[in-house]
Structure 1
Amino acid sequence: MQASHRDFPFYGGDPVRISLWGWLVVLALLAAGFAALLLSPSLLPGRLGGWIGVGLFVLLPMLGLRMATGRHWAAMFHPPTARDVWIGLAFAPLTLLMSAAVAVGVMRVGLTSANPVGAILLKLQGADLALFVAATAPQLLGEELVTIIPFLALLTALSTHKAPRKVAILVAWIGSAALFGALHLSTYQWHLGQALLIIGTARLVLTIPYLITKNLWSSTIAHIANDWIGFGVILLLTALGYG
């Protein structure tokens, strides 16, 4: 399908409408995948537990979509075009700038907590560092699923209740970003402002490539590029003596 003719899948019956029970199955497996991401490293310490958690984080929601939609489970994914790629890449630095601007405001009114990934990065070198960075890519795909699937579920619910399309998209966009921020509360020591404002703002920007292209690969590219640029900044500042 050409990029200009794409629409959000499922909510309007294209390529298939997901029933209420179907959405409940998808969301239940999405939650199970997120739980696996959090719990697997403690149940199976070491790299194996981490990889199993990431694998389940990605595969369980896809299984839910397969159960709810049959062969149409991959309707969120399209072969990425050059337009999909450059839109994704363009929004990566914009995400960093927006979240940094909000972070400055949040830090002025209260304390924030550092992202533990920074400390992990600084302990690694060479092949271990490269492997760690590369391993974040599938997890970030999972984070796109944990955002865009609720977006589509909200869009479906609002459209079913005859909400205007633009209103439904706006509410689903903000709601899914708020959920994404809330899922990061434990990462940032339960700092509500940091999770909902800083992470939530970053998520709003990261979702825009999907809103434009209707292709999950585009927002995934934006997310991976955003985080990898952030990793590079941390390592560069440390190398320059600012860490």
Structure 2
Amino acid sequence: MAENSENKDKFKFERKGLDFPFYNNNPHLSNGKWIILTIGFLITLLFGLIPKAGIPQYISEFIYFLIPFATFFYVANGKLGLICKKFQKSDIWLILGTIILYFVYSLVMGVLLKSIGIVAHTNPAISHLDSILFWIAFPFQIFGEELIKVIPFIIVLFLIYKFTGQRKLGIIIATLVSVILFGILHYNAYGSIITVILIQGIGSIIMLFVYLKSKNILASYIVHLATDTIIFLGALSAGAGFLF
């Protein structure tokens, strides 16, 4: 009966035997560590929103990684296995399908926004593509950005589950909050709140789904790393570009 009850509180797309950390005392986090996790995320969000004139691009990339990674590593007592799981054979198709779907969504949404006169700035990172330091720091930033999505997701899921006991509701609300905040984080780069909410924000639901299904941040990381690498390489070869 307990197993049936647990399954009813999970979406069909979720893999059996896996769950998100912390929200249901799995493992337990003290109030102090919840506060640290929240503050670490807010500092990262604030850093993303402030002007970074004078800060080298590669330094910014490492900071995007270091703050959320150090925060999660500390509250999880170094147990990265809480969000890093073993890959399964089906992950290959999940990753490839997600990459294709993300490009299709981004291109369609980009065309629709452009048709009504909404055009975002070119991502300033484009001007750093000829720097080896950029490419060294780039993979670290992408992992940090995945943590920037997962950490607020876990925090909101914990709060909703704590006060309602409804896991599915918590996942839905946590997903929406996470991707909207992730979109807002890109505002300085693109200068259009509508664009970052619809493309970088809502569009990232596609990538976050990989984590929601597999509970493996490494799988969503590969999707994110692959899509941005493809776009950057395209921009590098063309001499200009737009990062969706």
TM-score range, shorter chain: 0.7 to 0.9
Equivalent residue in structure 2 for 1:27, among 27, 38, 45: 38
* Residue 203 (structure 1) shift: 0.9
Cα 1:118–1:35, aligned 2, differ >3 Å: closer, same or farther? closer
* Residue 103 (structure 1) shift: 1.7
| Number of residue pairs matched by the alignment | 226
Alignment partners' CA distance in 2, 1:23 and 1:175: 17
Give the gaps of 5 or more residues in structure 2: 1-14
Q: Do structure 1's residue 221 and structure 2's residue 222 form an aligned pair?
A: yes
Residues 84 and 215 in structure 1, CA contact (< 8 A), matched pair in contact too: no
Q: Deviations over 1:66-99 (max 9, x none)?
A: 4433243551122444444542333112111112
Please tell me the root mean square deviation across aligned C-alpha atoms, in Å.
2.8
* Residue 181 (structure 1) shift: 0.6
> Counterpart in 1 of 2:162?
160
> Counterpart in 2 of 1:55?
62
Alignment partners' CA distance in 2, 1:88 and 1:213: 11
Counterpart of 1:114, as a letter, is H
> Counterpart in 1 of 2:196?
195
> Counterpart in 1 of 2:7?
none
Residues 91 and 205 in structure 1, CA contact (< 8 A), matched pair in contact too: yes
Residues 144 and 220 in structure 1, CA contact (< 8 A), matched pair in contact too: yes
Q: Deviations over 1:32-64 (max 9, x none)?
A: 345556779645x54xxx444333322222332
Alignment partners' CA distance in 2, 1:55 and 1:38: 16
Residues 49 and 187 in structure 2, CA contact (< 8 A), matched pair in contact too: no
Q: Deviations over 1:175-197 (max 9, x none)?
A: 111110111111112x1211111
Q: Do structure 1's residue 206 and structure 2's residue 178 form an aligned pair?
A: no
Q: Do structure 1's residue 139 and structure 2's residue 141 form an aligned pair?
A: yes
> Counterpart in 2 of 1:97?
104
Larger mean CA deviation between 209-218 and 84-93 belongs to 84-93
> Counterpart in 2 of 1:65?
72
Give the gaps of 5 or more residues in structure 1: none
Residues 37 and 56 in structure 1, CA contact (< 8 A), matched pair in contact too: no
> Counterpart in 1 of 2:177?
175
Alignment partners' CA distance in 1, 2:61 and 2:236: 24
Q: Do structure 1's residue 77 and structure 2's residue 84 form an aligned pair?
A: yes
Alignment partners' CA distance in 2, 1:118 and 1:24: 32
Cα 1:67–1:106, aligned 2, differ >3 Å: closer, same or farther? same
Residues 153 and 174 in structure 2, CA contact (< 8 A), matched pair in contact too: yes
Percent identity of paired positions between Structure 1 and Structure 2: 25
> Counterpart in 1 of 2:29?
18
Counterpart of 1:170, as a letter, is I
Q: Deviations over 1:125-173 (max 9, x none)?
A: xxx4x65345321111111011110011111111111242222111111
Larger mean CA deviation between 166-175 and 147-156 belongs to 166-175
* Residue 235 (structure 1) shift: 4.1
Tell me, what secondary structure is at the counterpart of 1:17?
A: coil
